[in-house]
A = this chain, B = another copy of it.
Amino acid sequence: MDSAFEIIAEPNRRAILSLLATAEQSVGEIERRLRMKQPTVSKHLRILHDSGLVESTIDAQRRIYRLQPDALREIEIWLDQFRRFWSSHVEALERHLERMPSEPAARRRVRKTKRRGLGRARKQGDGK
């Protein structure tokens, strides 16, 4: 588990990162705000720390965790190759935004319709 992609695949870890994007937090604060059990928080923080996504300082018995956002650039950079596709369809973005209340992802199961008996095979060109 080394790439940032796998790290942020976990919803709880994304929640922690989002929370830390607001302000640095101690483990206990994260635990209370996100309603996660303490060992769970610690374990996820360990993973986030090991992969460089957060850093921590010690305040007495507390550990204060804060974002180290540079590690997320890996994602940003990877996304770059797709940006040119987005520049167009603007309304698609809005549709997408509406469908995204927050965490629970929209599950969509659109199997493509198979076209049969169309006579000749089409190359591309498409045209929805």
Instruction: Enumerate chain A interface residues (CB-CB to B < 8 A).
Output: 2-6, 8-9, 11, 14, 17-18, 21-24, 26, 29, 49-53, 55-60, 62-64, 66-79, 81-83, 85-86, 89, 92-93, 96-97, 99-101, 103, 105-124, 126
Contact = CB atoms under 8 A, between A and B. Distances in A.
Contacts of A17: 82
Given A74-B96, A79-B79, A109-B60, A120 B68 contact: yes
A96 B64 CA distance: 14
B86 A56 contact: no
Contact of A56 (B18, B53, B113): B113
Contact of A52 (B50, B76, B116): B116
A70 B112 contact: no
Contacts of A72: 79, 82
16 contacts: A2-B105, A2-B107, A24-B100, A50-B108, A51-B117, A52-B110, A55-B115, A57-B122, A58-B109, A59-B109, A59-B122, A59-B123, A60-B109, A74-B105, A75-B75, A76-B83
A73 B93 contact: yes
Contacts of A114: 58
